[in-house]
Homo-oligomer: A and B are copies of this chain.
Amino acid sequence: MKVIMRYPKDHKETTRRRIVGSAAQTLRRDGIVASGVIGLMADAGLTQGGFYTHFASKDALVDEALQLAMVETRRKFSRLVADARAEGRSAIIALIDGYLSERHLEAPGMGCLLSSLGAELARQPEPIRRTAERAMNELIELIASEVPAPYQGRAGAILGLLSGTLQLARLGGTRNDQRALLDQGRSAAYVLAGVEMRNAAAA
């Protein structure tokens, strides 16, 4: 049977990706429960009606959007690691500094979903919960692969420190409070990762 294409072959797929892409940001910025379908579609320049030609439910979009968020985050971290290596800097310090940076603090919609959504993830329906769990494990492995061998077993705690401290910093009232928490978090992460503070300061 001949398949007749009325619209450009990838028209619908492009739109779908646009929805998932903007949802990945909005969900991290505003939270899952607090984000509605109408708003998520509006962010992609569309109206609510078309939503269900692309996704079976809001949860289905949330699941895909969180998967995309994770892919983006991993890509950013890989770039940090690659750049550091190319310049002869420590990859783990680059990861720590990138995670606990003011840039990351100010842009929860573009950052790690663990710190942006935190406890809300554990309350989601099973498929979404599992997606979040997979994201967590990927990040732990990514950290473990950059930490000196004797400290690799601490990768989970290091991720906990990074994501927990960024959340606290985002709660800080003044810019100074926020910076102080980020600084504390970086120093502590260096200690856990077994890298010297001296190197860190130099980097």
Contacts and interface: CB of A to CB of B under 8 A. Distances in A.
Interface of A: 30-31, 33-34, 108, 114-123, 129-130, 132-133, 136, 153-168, 170-173, 180-181, 184-185, 187-189, 191-192
Contacts of A116: 119
Contacts of A155: 184
Counted per complex, copies of this chain come to: 2
Contacts of A129: 171
B115 A171 contact: no
Contact of A121 (B121, B123, B171): B171
Contacts of A171: 121-122, 129, 132-133, 136
The residue in A156, A180, A187, A191 that gathers the most chain B C-beta atoms within 10 A of its C-beta is: A156
The residue in A121, A136, A168, A180 that gathers the most chain B C-beta atoms within 10 A of its C-beta is: A168
A184 B154 contact: yes
B168 A159 contact: yes
A156 B173 contact: no
Contacts of A159: 164, 168
The residue in A119, A156, A165, A180 that gathers the most chain B C-beta atoms within 10 A of its C-beta is: A119
A133 B168 CA distance: 8
Nearest to A35: B33
A120 B120 contact: yes
A189 B173 CA distance: 25
A184 B136 contact: no
The residue in A132, A164, A189 that gathers the most chain B C-beta atoms within 10 A of its C-beta is: A164
B156 A181 contact: yes
A180 B170 CA distance: 27
Given A160-B164, A172-B133, A115 B119 contact: yes
